[in-house]
Structure 1
Amino acid sequence: MSKYMSKYTGTAATVTRRTVLSGAAAFGLSGVVRAEPQAEVKVGLLVPISGMYARPGAVMREGAEMAVDHINSQGGVKALGGAKLKLVVLDCGDTTEKAKSAAQRMVAQEPDLVAASAAYLSSFTLAVTEVTERANLPVLTLSYSDLITDRGFKYVFQTSATAASQAKQALPQIISLAQSASGKKPKTVAIVTDNTGASVASAKSMREGLLAANGLQLVLDETFTPPLADATSLVQKVRSAKPDLLFFLPTVISDAKLLLEKMNEFGMGQGKVPTISFGIAIAEPDMLQTVSPELLQGVLTCVASWGTKGHEALMAELKKRYNEPWMTQNAISTYGDMWVIKDALEKAGKADRIAVADALRTLDAGPSKYYPLGEIKFDEKGRRIGAGMTIVQWQTGIPVTVFPPELALAQPIWPKS
């Protein structure tokens, strides 16, 4: 009888394949032992579902759901007999305390998870991974902070370029764009940033040598705690400093709205002070619900990933399925994370979190389809080797990828006075 049965090896975290005897065989008659389909394999998504970051969290869920559906419809995890992925979504809320508490619930209530993607803000990811590391649960993250993979952790895998790396890659491109469009190189910059992890990391790298290395002088440096109640004092300081470029790093949509509107009110629109951001808040679809396309025109933001050339089918599906106007970093990166976990399961050959982490450390799958440049290969810190970034620009009411050239969907423009 054993020759009709599929051999399957699992761990305590795996639901093993059961066999069912036909009615005839149960009564001693001739029959065939039939194997039930392989059990589901649980993967986690820990993102903000409530509070002021709920919108990006919802988009991350959309990306993950699409990926799981695509993986399952294409045969599931073949190394596990076609096992289907099951997405387990948990709410990390809108504070680091809530995020850490959610991570504690996740590892306690979902012991069958083999891996997870988390947790939007770098501040949340730093808190969450303190918990998941102790549980040996591999976590993939698009969060930017360099600190995430500077702590010696073995179960954290950063699919995005770090904040410092993104700033280093982006700054020369922005300077070149400004110089080619205006005929002169910018000399002075202002930084206005919130105090969340990724924003702090991006601003830190600029302050500590990156600006000077690119011939730029920092004339204003302001940090605020989100959400802002009023942007008047910040904009007044920017107007007094008269920078050639403004680096504005919010993580809350309402903060981006307040500052852009106040700049316009003070006569400092894009023609006066070109505005460059890091991160997704300033390019979220919800910006158009409260800010006119005219105020956004020309605003640049540097992000880990975006809907780019080669993602047209995914962008169309996201728009049709969820009524999303474009594919942000949150959707495409989380979509990619599910595929990376799937590939790790194929390599591991079993639904075991330690085996999956080992597989992630040794993945070498060549160029990525869902992340800009680089490979799906991680270094000893858990950072994706060769990770690139994208520069996105608001053009006629839509943020489109303008860098790198091979992934761009539009040519960059520079605001004219």
Structure 2
Amino acid sequence: MRKLLAGLSALTLTAVWSATGVATAQEQVTMALAMPLSGAWARIGEVSRAAAECAIADINEAGGIEALGGAKVNLVVADVGGSPESAKNAAERLLSAHPDISGGVGAYVSSFTLPVTEVTERAGIPWLTLSYSERITGRGYKHVFMTSPTSVKQAEDALPTILALAEQATGTKPDTVGIVMDNTPSPVGFTEGMRNGGLKKFGLELVVDQVFTPPLSVAGPIVQQVRSARPDFLLFLPTATPDIKLILEQLTQFGLTRERLPLVNNGGPMGTPDLLNVVGKDLLEGAMFITANWGLKGQEDFTEHWKECTGLPWVTQDISTYGHFWLLKEAMEMAKSADPEAVTQALHAMNLTDGPARFFPGGTVSFAENGRRNNASILIAQWRHGVPVTVFPAESAVAEPVWTGQ
């Protein structure tokens, strides 16, 4: 791990000089994290926080920001709560309390990231996110960067892959599909293209279409619809742990186990360690989920460090959160400045094939003009014996995919 950190710290990139042309030493720079640490998404937010704290510790241990005389990174954290309004208020308080923020990361749930980035964009603060909604980078903003494929892109790439996996396992292509989802921006964006011709294009009939507003209080009526229609597989798209647990329990009570009803989720919440603690491995066994990032083949040395540093039992989607802070660090090295505008310009100029790029699928990091990472692609992970492992694509997979939980 020391070699990895040294390599990241020593990474040489084409310099983007500060206005004076000279790097200025300083004692510390401030980076921010905004995550839901209370409310329905709190457990997910805590995982993100662990990843962020690990990244900051590693950056500082590796020498801080070398171009700024070894300046250490100070992490400030904001709890965005459980609603878009609280997220916006939290972002405003964060920037007011810490006017020296050079860049930030968050806020996981797309419906929170949207208002947070409205605030950070007005302030000119570079902001990185693993949220999926196309709207985040579709507003003409100059300081917002998304390292995940958008929800629409994920849907376009996922559907043919899912069908191929099913046909490979069973010998027949699915004919019917069900959708159970909440109405937050990520699942809405993920299913938009499917509803507007995508399913029909692949010969799929939508036989269940249930949309709810989180938090869900009763799952019985939703699951009854699924049991009556008996789709060949279910696009299972809640985003909050309590809702995932409630629906899975009801599906099992109605006899719809993974062997009888393959589940495909979209997003990292389906693979968090806390979900295993709350739901249990039997309910999760065989469930697949599409994600922007996960533990990848070839990351064995980092995986062991991750476990020790974060206290988490496997590498989650929040390896992106970890990587985002290294990207901010490298942007400061490039700019030789912690000025937010200089950091933003460096992120736009970035073209990495090493160092922090290791933490993202495909091993490259560069951004289009709208802030989306070029060539961002999906992964598929699957719960296997109490651990979610990457099963697609083959070059990143640590296990072969199976269509059921058997």
Alignment TM-score, normalising by the size of structure 1: 0.89
Structure 1: gaps of 5 or more residues: 1-8, 18-37
Larger gyration radius, structure 1 or structure 2: 1
Q: CA deviation at 1:292?
A: 3.3
1:391 aligns with 2:380: yes
Q: Which amino acid aligns with 1:49?
A: L
Contact 2:40 2:242 in 1 (8 A): no
The alignment partner of 1:329 has SS state of: coil
Task: Identify which range, 93-102 or 77-86, moves more after superposition.
Answer: 77-86
The alignment partner of 2:324 has SS state of: helix
Q: Which amino acid aligns with 1:347?
A: M
Contact 1:374 1:387 in 2 (8 A): no
Structure 2: gaps of 5 or more residues: 1-16
Task: Identify which range, 141-150 or 212-221, moves more after superposition.
Answer: 212-221
Moved runs in structure 1, 4+ residues, more than 3 A?
A: none
Equivalent of 1:349 in 336, 355, 369 = 336
Partner of 2:8: none
1:270 aligns with 2:253: no
Deviation digits for residues 79-119 of structure 1 (CA, Å, limit 9, x no counterpart): 21222211111111111111100111122111111110010
Equivalent of 2:98 in 105, 110, 124 = 110
Partner of 1:225: 213
Partner of 1:156: 144
Contact 1:271 1:415 in 2 (8 A): yes
**Structure 2: distance between partners of 1:50 and 1:240:** 36
Q: Which amino acid aligns with 2:344?
A: A
**Structure 2: distance between partners of 1:239 and 1:52:** 27
Partner of 1:119: 107
**Structure 2: distance between partners of 1:325 and 1:136:** 37
Contact 2:285 2:405 in 1 (8 A): no
Partner of 2:11: none
1:414 aligns with 2:377: no
How many aligned residue pairs are there? 385
**Structure 1: distance between partners of 2:405 and 2:188:** 30
**Structure 2: distance between partners of 1:341 and 1:263:** 43
Contact 2:124 2:340 in 1 (8 A): yes
Task: Identify which range, 315-324 or 116-125, moves more after superposition.
Answer: 315-324
1:171 aligns with 2:136: no
**Structure 2: distance between partners of 1:393 and 1:270:** 12
Deviation digits for residues 249-272 of structure 1 (CA, Å, limit 9, x no counterpart): 011111111111111111111121
Contact 2:219 2:246 in 1 (8 A): yes
Q: Which amino acid aligns with 1:340?
A: L
Partner of 1:139: 127
Equivalent of 1:376 in 359, 362, 365 = 365
Change (3 A) 1:336 1:416: closer
**Structure 2: distance between partners of 1:76 and 1:280:** 29
**Structure 2: distance between partners of 1:379 and 1:61:** 27
Contact 1:302 1:390 in 2 (8 A): yes
Change (3 A) 1:84 1:290: closer
Partner of 1:200: 188
Q: Which amino acid aligns with 1:335?
A: Y
Percent of pairs identical after alignment?
48
Partner of 2:283: 295
Q: CA RMSD in A?
A: 1.8
Contact 1:10 1:16 in 2 (8 A): no
**Structure 2: distance between partners of 1:416 and 1:250:** 20
**Structure 2: distance between partners of 1:64 and 1:378:** 22
Partner of 2:172: 184
Contact 1:309 1:407 in 2 (8 A): yes
Q: CA deviation at 1:287?
A: 2.2
**Structure 1: distance between partners of 2:378 and 2:358:** 13
Alignment of 1:2-151 (within 5 A): 17=25, 38-151=26-139
Partner of 1:315: 303
Q: CA deviation at 1:374?
A: 6.0
Alignment TM-score, normalising by the size of structure 2: 0.91
Structure with higher RCO (Cα < 8 A, 6+ apart):
2
